[in-house]
Amino acid sequence: MDKDATQQTRAVRAGVDTDTQHGAVMPPVYLTSNFNFAAFDEPRLHDYTRTSNPTREALADALTELENGAGATITATGMGAITLVLQLLNRDDLVVAPLDCYGGTFRLLNAFAERGLLRVKLVDQTDHQATADALSGARMLWVETPTNPLLRIVDLEQMRELATAAGALMAVDNTFLSPALQRPFDFGADLVVHSTTKYLNGHSDVVGGAVVAATDELAEQMKWWANTLGLTGAPFDSFLTLRGIRTLFARMAIHEQNAMTLARLLEKHAAVARVFYPGLESHPGHALAGSQQRGYGGMLSFELTGAEAAARAFLEAVQLFTLAESLGGVESLACHPATMTHAALDQVSQKAAGISPGLVRLSVGIETGEDLVRDIRTGLAAAAAA
């Protein structure tokens, strides 16, 4: 490929025109569990699909290039990707994670901690001093930016400095933005994690994950653990995700355009106490997001003044926002974090993380913006009445 090609062009061309056997424009799907040996004691590049598969490797190569990393490992789920990264830790190693991290991440870290496999500290990573204090003796700094679901923006350069001072690895969950809008390796991350289920695939029809490493050594460790634990993704799932990546940049532009429109609408409505969207000038992380991101993304959250009753009324009134977990598909989704994505947190933990009963999270799709505005107005009217 042209060495001067943009990231968008690289995404569109991912895996295209690589079939040297038949000249297929789109890469084939290798639905085989095993591969024959060329001869006795002469294994080929691939021998068993759990270990490696051409279709999965095509996806890994695309993500490595888009993130500007050294190598990628494709996993069966996003949680599989997180589990993979945690294999770098030994018993009693300390992980410092965001106070309002994704509920599945919290559940896994908490479960591992209860079994004595590691130690966990949760901290508001927008607080420099609190993060520095928490990192004393830490082995890994787990970063989400924007965070899920409150979309706090974390200074990646600052996190790198703190991690380096503590001698800790820095892993960044880049699911919310994708490499189209943020590349954590540009700011010194050691590992970048994705739930490829979300924006990378973009169509809510496949589950998967990925870990991209900054160095060859880390990449090899990730591949070894994925093979050993059996966490690697299926070939057909990889094919679908690779297909989704080709429209990633085009989709993200519409996601963001619609999200910005809705955020401005919500910010002015009397039924809304607060809007969490980094694209708004009122967001405390707006300037930082503008400096380390290429856009503000399609995720937003807002807090209704009427607490849970208002949230229920809103979610029951909207028609174009499907009540469901997950995010990043072409269709718009709405969820109630306190009872859905972050239900694993007890009420004390939810309160500490800032997750209130009136909080609603939207994954804004690529439908016509005017239709989404009309639907949101209907929901807000119901919330106000409640």
Cis amide linkage into residue 27, ω under 30° from 0: no
Distances (CA, A) of 347 to 151, 183, 310, 337, 339: 20, 34, 19, 12, 10
What is the Cα–Cα distance from 205 to 198, expressed in whole angstroms?
10
> Which residue blocks in the chain are alpha helix, DSSP H?
7-12, 54-67, 78-86, 103-114, 128-134, 156-166, 178-181, 216-229, 235-245, 248-267, 286-292, 307-317, 347-353, 369-385
Question: How many Cα neighbours within 13 Å face the side chain of 234?
Answer: 8
**Residue 123 parent element (H or E):** strand 119-123
How many CB atoms lie under 10 A from the CB of residue 17? 12
What is the Cα–Cα distance from 109 to 255, expressed in whole angstroms?
31
Distances (CA, A) of 66 to 12, 178, 214, 252, 339: 11, 9, 12, 15, 35
| Residues in Cβ contact with 287 at an 8 Å cutoff, skipping those fewer than 6 apart | none
Interhelix angle 307-317/369-385, nearest 10 degrees: 140
Residues acting as catalytic residues: 50, 102, 173, 198
What is the Cα–Cα distance from 93 to 103, expressed in whole angstroms?
21
Nearest to 270 by CA among 313, 302, 318, 300: 302
User: To which residue do tokens 């409505």 refer?
Assistant: 269
- Rg (the chain; Cα; Å): 21
What is the Cα–Cα distance from 384 to 310, expressed in whole angstroms?
7
